[in-house]
Structure 1
Amino acid sequence: MGYDVAVCRRPTSQPGPDHEFPGVPVFSGLGEAKAWRPDIAIIANVTSAHVAVARRAVDIGCHVLIEKPLSNDLVGADDLDRASRDAQLRAGIACNFRFHPALCAIKREVDAGTTGRLCSVRAEAGTYLPDWHPQANYRDEFSARKDLGGGAALTLIHEMDYVYWIAGDVSRATGIAAHASSLELDVDDVTEIVCLHTNGAVSSVHMDFIDRRYHRHCRW
C-alpha cells in the first residue's frame, strides 16, 4: 500500500519470536520510535493506557488512531484533544462497525426516511470470554480486569456506538452492568442499556461475556 510500518512495544514487555513481525522494525517504547519519525500511531494497547500513550504519540508529532474505546475514564481526554488540535494533528477512535455495508445501508435508509420513522432498535453482542484467546488465561486478559479497562460494556462497545451513530443523540438512558456469571473476573460480564433518543426512538443494547455462541446482530 506504499506505507512503512513499525511496531512499538512497551519497554518492559517481553520480546516475541523473531518471526513474529518479519521485516518490520520493532521499537522498545516511543522514545526509540521517535527517531523513525512516524506520521501516525495506531494505539492498540490495553484500554486504561490508551489516552496516556496517545498523548505521548502526539508529543512526537503523530496523528493518532485509537482502538475503541477511548478509555475507561475521561482522565486526560480533554488534554489529548487540546494537544492534538494545537499541533494540527488528527486524533480519532477506530469504531470500524460504522463501515460495515449493512449498517451503512441502514443509516442511509434512516437518514433518508424512506422506510418511515425510526421507532425502536435492538442490538446484541454475545461471546464467551474464555474462548477469545484459548492459548491464554482469560483471568489475565485486559477484558477481565477492571484496572486495565475491561468489562463487557467497554470491550463490546461497537453496538452502543453504531446505535448512537444511526439513531442519534440520546435524551435519557438507563442500564445495568453486572458480574452475573461464575467467571473469575472483577468487571461486568452482562450489560443492558436502554436509551430514549431525541427523535423519539427507543434503543436497547445487550452485551455479554457468557454466551457460548458468538453472535452480533441488530433489529431496526
Structure 2
Amino acid sequence: MDMEKEMFDIIHTSEFSIFSLSQLPHDDNSLLLGYEGKVKSFDGRTGKIIDLWEMHEQRVNTIDVHPGNSNLVATCSADGFVRIWDLRCLGKEQPKSIKEVAHNRAVQSAYFSPTGNGLVSTSTEDTIRIWGGPHFENLSIVKHNNKAAGRLSSFSAIWGWNDSYIFIGNIQRAIDVISTENNITTPLKSEYMTNVPCRFATHPYKEGLLACAGGGKLFLWTKM
C-alpha cells in the first residue's frame, strides 16, 4: 500500500491458498509465503518466487523471522510441529531444521520474543509453550483454553514490548496477560470490549499501545 497515494498494488497472486506471510527485516522486497506444507521466498523486484521449500506436511500457519538474525526463521503448522530454520543452509530438497518441537495437536502460531531469546507457541491442545535459553531448551507450559467458538479466528499468543509478558485472547471477552517470569495469568477486562479478541498487535514505537480485533471490531488499549 502506498500511504501517500492511498492505493494498493497487487504484487503476487496464487491459485493456492496462502496461509501466512512474513517480511524480511531491512528488505522491503522480500516476502516469505506459507502454503500447504510449503514456504516460498518471493522477490518483489522481479515479481517471482525465487525459492520453494517443503517444510511441513500440512498448512504453514505462521512464519516469523528472528529479530536479531534474519537468517533464522520459525514456522509452525497444522501438522503439530514448530521448526526453526537457517535460511543459509536450506537445500532445495528435504531441507533440515536446526530445531524441532512436536505438539500433540495443531500449532496455531509461533513467534520469537523481542530479544530473540524466547519463543512462544499456541496449540489446539490448549497449551501455550514458552521456550528460552541459548538453544531454546528451557520449556514452560501454560494451560489455556485456545478453542475459539463459532466463527472466531483461532487464538494466537504474541509477545509484548519485551520478553516479560505475552498477550492472548480469552473467550470471556478479555485479554490474558501471561508473565514469563512465573507463568501467572492476569486478565484485562473492559465494559467496552464487547467481542472476543482473537488477533493482537503491539505498536512498534509506542510502548503500552496494544490493538486487538475480533468479530469485526477493533479495540485499542493504552497503558496509563
TM-score (ref. length: structure 2): 0.30
User: Please, what TM-score do these two structures have when normalized by structure 1?
Assistant: 0.31
Considering fraction of residues, name the structure with more strand.
2
Larger relative contact order (C-alpha < 8 A, sep ≥ 6)? 1
Greater Rg by CA: 1
